[in-house]
Chains A and B, each alone.
Chain A
Amino acid sequence: MIEIRNLSKSFIDKNGRVDALKNINLQIEKGDIYGIIGLSGAGKSTLIRCINRLEEPSAGSVLIDDKDIMKLNNEEILKIRRRIGMIFQSFNLLSRRDCSQNVAFPLEVSNYSKEEIKARVNELLGLVGLEDKRHSYPSQLSGGQKQRVAIARALAAKSDILLCDEATSALDPSTTKSILALLKEINKVFGITIILITHQMEVIKEICNKVAVISEGEIVEQGTTFELFSKPSHAVTKRFLSDKSLEGTLSYTPQNSGAELYKLTFLEESAHKPVISQMVKRMDIEVNIIAGHLSSVQGKSYGNLVIEVSGESKIVAEALEYLRENKVFVEVLADYERVE
């Protein structure tokens, strides 16, 4: 388990002070595929690099299995890094080593014997499906193959945590899918905890069970992937999701002045009940459905409706309360959220 407590990091450079991380708190369980999403410059790389202390935090602590890695001496840092694999957007393979030599690197560093190295390299190249490329050099590989070698290398020294810094950002969509599938498999088969940072919501949607949204050095929202997709609360998250259910709301002009637009979210349990028609039957209001969309994340579905409700304000309030009682999530749609 990895616990990040009150973690802060400031850089001092020519232009002054940059607070790259501000009081970050995260809890990552063993076996999680934990996604951290944010725009460029949000502090993602800085955060992930604090986990293996490639970056020295300014304050706070990182606990790995209850051990505070901020208290480790240099020798111990090298040891703990050998347990934590890391892959990068630019792969960072050694150009003058072939695939098997690249995978052997962390094993050489950790003083494995020649026989062990050979066996382990074969095993890992098999795992990532590149046995036939063992004598190829990185320049002879495609981006996806390079990332596979990098994954094999990151796991070679029996790491149980894998950090991924924009690992698929340099890859085309279909290669991204295959790399994500490989990560998922590794997570499932070996129980390796994966922490990945990305600026692509698709990556989160594809494999993460939990996710945190980072913006300007702060975690603005976190939860399970389903929660985040179905009920995003922070503006940054909503922007990332580019919600299909809101399409068409921008050009809509209200039928009655003063009427508000509401965004309703139906999660699985409420999705099958005729809540809206019940509400209209019971109360003296008018409902105008403006937009709607049914989505699913990792096999779980949820629906959104945008409606205009008009009627006496007291009754409207009661109607909304009725929806909430029936486990429908209700938000007032802010003007800035409307889309074309």
Chain B
Amino acid sequence: MKELNSILLKLLELMPQPLAETLYMVTAATIFSVLLGTPLGIVTAISEEHHMWPHKNLNRVLNLLINITRSLPFIILMIAVFPLSKLLVGRRIGTTAAIVPLTIAAIPFVARLVENSVKELAWGIIEAALSMGANTRQIIFKVILPEALPSIVSGITMTIINLIGYSAMAGAIGGGGLGDLAIRFGYQGFQEDVLFGTVVVLLLIVQLVQYLGDKIYKRLIK
């Protein structure tokens, strides 16, 4: 009992900062990747041959871009974007710098999810909007986005969970956060209690995100 107490105390002391760092990285990367990935996904979906804004070459380029970025292992992507991180946040490593590779890894992921959400919509509702004289912009903002929103929200939930995983990897190369804590204490310092505590906290965060995501999804669906 006494031992358990001391472990908890140790975790309480060690945990807050890495936890805050993880939340910071994941939140920022989620916001940026959703803001950039959503339009990319929509354009990719509607520029397809039989969709409402067919642009064959643009569609090819976007698909290629998304596939290349998605196929890069995150650890390599992280190192490859060092120059970009330096350019954008002035540093190559660190918690803020890690947001850059995290965002870049998540953009194509978000784009694909959004693209699928859009393509899943029944063509009939788009056709009905066309028949009422809606233009492309009106269809995107009044039909596609609102109708695909519940599905996009599930996609974002998945993105956040993925980003939590990636952010732990970012910890390995100086990004801080829970991953860094687990490596420093659990792997290098042989303190299994810290490692275990980190795992539990990560698990709880993922559960919470999934729970909230499902809840919002259910509220959005009519």
Whether B128 lies near A78 (C-beta < 8 A) is no
Q: Residue B147 contacts which of A88, A94, A108 (CB distance < 8 angstroms)?
A: A94
Residue of B nearest to A109 (CB): B134
Q: In whole Å, how far is B55's beta carbon from the nearest beta carbon of chain A?
A: 15
Q: In whole Å, how far is A187's beta carbon from the nearest beta carbon of chain B?
A: 19
Q: Is A244 part of the binding interface, using a Cβ–Cβ cutoff of 8 Å?
A: no
Query: Which of B74-82, B92-100, B135-143, B154-162 faces chain A?
Result: B135-143
Complex-state Cα separation, A79 to B146, whole angstroms: 24
Q: Residue B127 contacts which of A54, A77, A95, A106 (CB distance < 8 angstroms)?
A: A54
Q: Which residues of B contact A86 (CB under 8 A)?
A: 128, 131-132
Whether B125 lies near A94 (C-beta < 8 A) is yes
Q: Which residues of A contact B73 (CB under 8 A)?
A: none
Q: Which residues of B contact A82 (CB under 8 A)?
A: 132-133
Most buried by B among A94, A98, A154, A163: A94
Q: Is B172 part of the binding interface, using a Cβ–Cβ cutoff of 8 Å?
A: no
Complex-state Cα separation, A80 to B147, whole angstroms: 26
Q: Which residues of A contact B131 (CB under 8 A)?
A: 52, 54, 81, 84-86, 163
Q: In whole Å, how far is A93's beta carbon from the nearest beta carbon of chain B?
A: 8
Q: Residue B149 contacts which of A79, A92, A96, A139 (CB distance < 8 angstroms)?
A: A96
Q: Which residues of B contact A163 (CB under 8 A)?
A: 131
Q: Is A33 part of the binding interface, using a Cβ–Cβ cutoff of 8 Å?
A: no
Residue of B nearest to A137 (CB): B222
Whether B133 lies near A110 (C-beta < 8 A) is yes
Q: In whole Å, how far is B60's beta carbon from the nearest beta carbon of chain A?
A: 19
Complex-state Cα separation, A94 to B132, whole angstroms: 13
Binding site secondary structure of chain A: mixed
Q: Is B220 part of the binding interface, using a Cβ–Cβ cutoff of 8 Å?
A: yes
B residues 199-214 with Cβ under 8 Å of A? Answer: none
Complex-state Cα separation, A78 to B130, whole angstroms: 8
Q: Is B4 part of the binding interface, using a Cβ–Cβ cutoff of 8 Å?
A: no
Q: In whole Å, how far is A122's beta carbon from the nearest beta carbon of chain B?
A: 19
Q: Which residues of A contact B222 (CB under 8 A)?
A: 95-96, 98, 137-139
Q: Residue B124 contacts which of A52, A78, A90 (CB distance < 8 angstroms)?
A: A90
Residue of A nearest to B146 (CB): A96
Q: Is B183 part of the binding interface, using a Cβ–Cβ cutoff of 8 Å?
A: no
Per-position binary interface string of chain A over residues 163-191, scored 1 when its CB falls under 8 Å from any chain B CB and 0 otherwise: 10000000000000000000000000000
Q: Residue A92 contacts which of B127, B134, B146, B220 (CB distance < 8 angstroms)?
A: B127
Q: Which residues of A contact B130 (CB under 8 A)?
A: 54, 81
B residues 104-139 with Cβ under 8 Å of A? Answer: 122, 124-125, 127-135, 138
Q: Which residues of B contact A153 (CB under 8 A)?
A: 132
Q: Which residues of A contact B143 (CB under 8 A)?
A: 94
Whether A79 lies near B124 (C-beta < 8 A) is no
Q: Which residues of A contact B129 (CB under 8 A)?
A: 105, 109
Interface residues of A (CB under 8 A from B): 52, 54, 77-82, 84-86, 88, 90, 92-98, 105-106, 108-110, 137-139, 150, 153-154, 157, 163
Selected A-B contacts with CB under 8 Å, 18 pairs: A54-B130, A78-B134, A81-B131, A85-B131, A85-B132, A86-B131, A88-B124, A88-B127, A88-B128, A90-B124, A92-B128, A95-B147, A96-B146, A96-B150, A97-B146, A98-B222, A105-B132, A109-B133
Interface residues of B (CB under 8 A from A): 122, 124-125, 127-135, 138, 142-143, 146-147, 149-150, 220, 222
> What 5 A-B pairs come out closest when comparing CB atoms?
A81-B133, A92-B128, A82-B133, A86-B131, A92-B124
